[in-house]
């Protein structure tokens, strides 16, 4: 009968080797772990102990990364977008900005 926490020695050794092969990058400030160094770099530059820099035009939402703001706008404010192929060459634009492009 196995006792909780009792592992086979070979399994433990294999797990230790695997964890060494797949290095984890930890933030020195907050300790948040990342699998890839560029993700840690982005975290340190834009997120760690920083106020959100990107604000939604339509509500009070704020994001630390522009990609998260763009996803928020697309998911929460779809009704404020239109596909104006004739006036803006198939780009998406906001409804209130279309007046700039009409003749």
Same domain, residue pair 77 and 92: yes
Task: Render each residue's pLDDT in the chain as its tens digit; 103 residues.
Answer: 344 455 677 777 776 776 677 778 889 999 888 888 999 999 999 899 999 999 998 999 999 989 999 999 989 988 876 554 444 444 445 555 555 555 5
- Domain contains 73: yes
* Tokens 């196995």, located at residue: 2
- Collapsing DSSP to helix, strand or coil, 76 comes out as helix
Which tokens sit at 7? 């592992």
Same domain, residue pair 32 and 43: yes
Do 62 and 54 contact (CB within 8 A), yes or no?
yes
Same domain, residue pair 43 and 74: no
Same domain, residue pair 75 and 93: yes
- Domain contains 17: no
Which tokens sit at 9? 């020695």
Number of domains in the chain: 2
How many beta carbons lie within 10 A of that of residue 92, not counting itself? 11
Which tokens sit at 31? 């300790």
Q: Specify the pLDDT at position 99.
A: 52
- Domain contains 33: yes
Identify the domain containing residue 89 by its residue range.
54-100
| pTM as predicted | 0.52
The counts of H helices and E strands in the chain are 3, 6
């Amino acid at each position: 009968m196995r006792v909780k926490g009792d592992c086979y020695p070979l399994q433990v050794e294999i797990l230790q080797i695997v964890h060494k092969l797949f290095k984890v990058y930890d933030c020195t400030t907050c300790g948040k772990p990342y699998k890839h160094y560029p993700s840690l770099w982005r975290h340190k530059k834009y997120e760690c102990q920083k106020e959100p820099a990107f604000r939604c035009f339509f509500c009070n939402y704020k994001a630390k990364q522009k990609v998260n703001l763009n996803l928020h706008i697309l998911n929460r404010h779809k009704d404020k977008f239109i596909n104006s192929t004739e006036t803006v060459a198939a780009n998406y634009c906001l409804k209130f900005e279309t007046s700039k492009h009409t003749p």
